Amino acid sequence: MPPRLVFMGTPDFAVPTLLEIAGRGYEIAAVYTRASKPSGRGMAPQQSPIEREARRLGLTVLTPKNLRSDEARAAFRSHGADAAVVIAYGLILPKPILDALPLGCFNLHASALPRWRGAAPINRAIMAGDTETAVMVMRMEEGLDTGPIAMAERVTIGPDMTAGDLHDRLARLGADLMVRALAAIERDALKLTPQAEAGVTYAGKVEKGETRIDWRLPWQTVHNHCRGLSPFPGAWFELAGERDKARVRVKVLRTTKGEGSGAPGTVLGNGLTIACGEGAVRIVELQRAGRAPMTAEEFLRGANLPPGTQLE
């Protein structure tokens, strides 16, 4: 008999799995997500991507601030669910919640565990220059992403692949993987494998202070930094403002290996090629503050950046 489910998730990454589970006819007793947050120029409350999809599907949506109170735990148990699907929910699941479901809580995690446990596995894998990652279904324990692995799908990270590219691919693969795991649960055929004790790394949240580009670093490090933060929060540099205006922040969305060398941060020509501490990167796509993304060619038509210009 198919398990009755609780779904717990918040961002875009979780949406394909919710849609796949609902489309396969699984009974979803409730959807838990983070509460609406003020956003945009008007600071109006914005529902999470999961809340928008769940309400469109006519599902019950709950947005508790935490799951530690007796009331929250009683409400969770009242759904009569067999298992929970958890994807980037954003709240810690205390042990009474993990233990409340007969079959357990199953998390979809975007890394090759035990590498990159934590909040930002996609960003950190690319920033570190990894050439392979995975998406995995894991049965949750109290520790941070420490539970045994149920299923995995490995993925090659291309040399110019961005975090956005990898996010979308893993989200699609993860939806299929979770459905396969649920089918195995239904057949009582799901096998769990403990994570390796060696090779543990942690993917800490990306902080604002680490997003500025340091052109003094080798080109490969700069390239990995830019693509690992694209499209959000975005690696950036500054341009001098025209006619004494304030400096302009520019996000770099796509780069590749460039040709040439020079003082770090110097525009070398050949499109928008920038010298690094070792080698150079060629900027392919970028975005000025308050503008839409554009190609380097489009950007150069409206910016005065002759060879020799120094970027900061």
Does residue 306 form part of some domain? no
CATH number of the domain that 234 lies in? 3.10.25.10
Phi, psi of 100 (to 5 degrees): -80, -15
d(CA 70, CA 191): 33
d(CA 163, CA 206): 12
Identify the domain boundary among 202, 219, 249. 202
pLDDT band for 241, please (50, 70, 90 cuts): low
End-to-end CA distance of the chain: 61
pLDDT for 238: 93
pLDDT of 255-277, one tens digit each? 999 999 999 999 998 889 999 99
d(CA 140, CA 138): 6
- Pair 157, 137 in one domain: yes
d(CA 69, CA 81): 19
pLDDT for 188: 95
- Pair 152, 64 in one domain: yes
Q: Are 275 and 301 in contact (CB under 8 A)?
A: no
- Pair 61, 191 in one domain: yes
Does residue 308 form part of some domain? no
Q: Are 38 and 72 in contact (CB under 8 A)?
A: no
Percent of the chain with pLDDT over 70: 97
Residue 244 has pLDDT above 60, yes or no: no
- Pair 226, 196 in one domain: no
pLDDT of 131-190, one tens digit each? 999 999 999 999 999 999 999 999 999 999 999 999 999 999 999 999 999 999 999 999
Does residue 312 form part of some domain? no
DSSP state of 307: T
| Packing angle, helices 163-186 and 15-23, rounded to 10 | 30
d(CA 122, CA 266): 30
Identify the domain boundary among 202, 223, 244. 202
- Pair 39, 67 in one domain: yes
* Sign of the CA dihedral with 28 first, then 32, 170, and 296 last: positive
73-82, 96-105, 244-253: segment of lowest average pLDDT: 244-253
- Pair 21, 113 in one domain: yes
pLDDT of 193-223, one tens digit each? 999 999 999 999 999 999 999 999 999 999 9
Q: Using CB atoms within 10 Å of the CB of residue 136, give its burial: 0 to 12 exposed, 13 to 18 middle, 19+ buried.
A: buried
- What radius of gyration do the chain's Cα atoms show? 22
Identify the domain boundary among 164, 181, 202. 202
Does residue 310 form part of some domain? no
Categorise residue 156: left if φ over 0, alpha if ψ from -120 to 50, beta otherwise.
beta
Residue 77, domain extent: 5-202
Phi, psi of 39 (to 5 degrees): -155, 160
Number of domains in the chain: 2
pLDDT band for 304, please (50, 70, 90 cuts): confident
- Pair 190, 219 in one domain: no
Does residue 181 form part of some domain? yes
pLDDT for 40: 61
- Pair 163, 69 in one domain: yes
Average of per-residue pLDDT across 226-247: 86
Residue 42 has pLDDT above 90, yes or no: no
Residue 242 has pLDDT above 80, yes or no: no
Q: Are 306 and 271 in contact (CB under 8 A)?
A: no
| Packing angle, helices 15-23 and 49-56, rounded to 10 | 20
Does residue 155 form part of some domain? yes
- Pair 260, 197 in one domain: no
Residue 237 has pLDDT above 60, yes or no: yes
pLDDT of 43-70, one tens digit each? 678 899 999 999 999 999 999 999 999 9
pLDDT for 64: 95
β-pairing, 202-203 with 117-118? parallel
Single-letter code of the amino acid located at 280 = A
- Pair 178, 215 in one domain: no
Does residue 145 form part of some domain? yes
For residue 30, what are the β-bridge partners? 6
Average pLDDT in the chain: 95
Q: Is the pTM of this model over 0.75?
A: yes
- H or E element, residue 153: strand 149-156
Does residue 309 form part of some domain? no
Average of per-residue pLDDT across 72-86: 97
Single-letter code of the amino acid located at 215 = W
- Pair 281, 171 in one domain: no
CATH number of the domain that 186 lies in? 3.40.50.170
134 SS3 class: strand
DSSP 35-79: PPEEETTTTEEE--HHHHHHHHTT--EE--S-S-SHHHHHHHHTT
- Pair 253, 160 in one domain: no
